[in-house]
Amino acid sequence: MTDTPDILARILDRKREEIAERMLRTSLEDLRGFIDAAPAVRPFLAALEARIEGGRSAVIAEIKKASPSRGVLREDFDPASIARSYEAGGAACLSVLTDRDFFQGADVHLEDARAASSLPVLRKDFIVDAYQVYEARVMGADCVLLIAAALEDARLQDLLMLTHELGMNALIEIHEARELERVLKLDAALIGINNRDLRTFETRLETTLDLVKMIPGNRMVITESGIHTREDVARMREAGVHAFLVGEAFMTAADPGARLAELFG
């Protein structure tokens, strides 16, 4: 992790400060005490598998207001209505950005989106501490994102085990072959391949097309970033990739769910 990209390093530094601030308001012990009152877990992996077994693309549709590279993506931002639109458009699951400082996200965005739909929900954030995994479960997340580039092996393993203990799934995100080698040593059912280079922000679909060849068939591969056309979808499916995490292509559309149906229908 000595070569952690600058933007990611900045985000992680701020994230550690944010966790410390949150722990002053709610201790880890108190947070754990809220778990019993959390909504029942919805089966995230099973929802994706069901779509694929039915011969369809399994789409994790993302709800995010902004990104560091593009700024505000959607001025008219209502997570609940977007969630309903995605469900109507055929999404298998939702992904909700909860990072405040770089993506203008919020915990309440996830809570509102989940309450408005029946779909399982991924907490999309920069998770570096067990505190955030407990937070995710308390707010109703069914899956969490773990970014290999942000976590040493031991921490990645510990956080993965904790998600399993809490009944959730974890999507482990990689960007390159070295990270994939690390992740394949873990009991990781969901492997996300991010086509965006965190150093340059360039997006190349070839990242997924190259790395998927190295992944055993008993893992589910989810391609992330850069899916904008039906041709992009077809390229992935021809390569054996049937699960997609898509955000910006939907967030910039007038009707996100209709755009989803158009792209994957």
65 has catalytic annotation: no
Q: Which of 57, 67, 117, 225 is catalytic?
A: 225
195 has catalytic annotation: no
Q: Which of 87, 111, 135, 173 is catalytic?
A: 173
Q: Which of 85, 117, 194, 195 is catalytic?
A: 194
Q: Which two tokens stand for residue 139?
A: 């707010």
62 has catalytic annotation: yes
Strands 71-72 and 66-67: antiparallel
Which residues 6+ apart lie within 8 Å of 174 measured at CB?
148, 149, 180, 183, 191, 192, 193, 194, 211
173 has catalytic annotation: yes
Q: Which residues are 124's β-sheet partners?
A: 97
Q: Which of 62, 111, 135, 248 is catalytic?
A: 62
Q: Which two tokens stand for residue 193?
A: 């391949």
DSSP state letter for 75: S
Q: Which of 64, 85, 117, 135 is catalytic?
A: 64
Q: Which amino acid is at 206?
A: E
Q: Which of 65, 124, 179, 195 is catalytic?
A: 124
Q: Which of 87, 179, 224, 248 is catalytic?
A: 224
Under DSSP, is residue 128 helix (H, G, I), strand (E, B) or coil? coil
Q: How far apart are CA 200 and CA 234, in angstroms?
A: 26
DSSP state letter for 42: P
Q: Left, alpha or beta for 55 (phi > 0: left; psi -120 to 50: alpha)?
A: left
Count CB atoms within 10 A of the CB of residue 231.
Answer: 8
18 has catalytic annotation: no
**Catalytic residue numbers, as ranges:** 62, 64, 124, 173, 194, 224-225
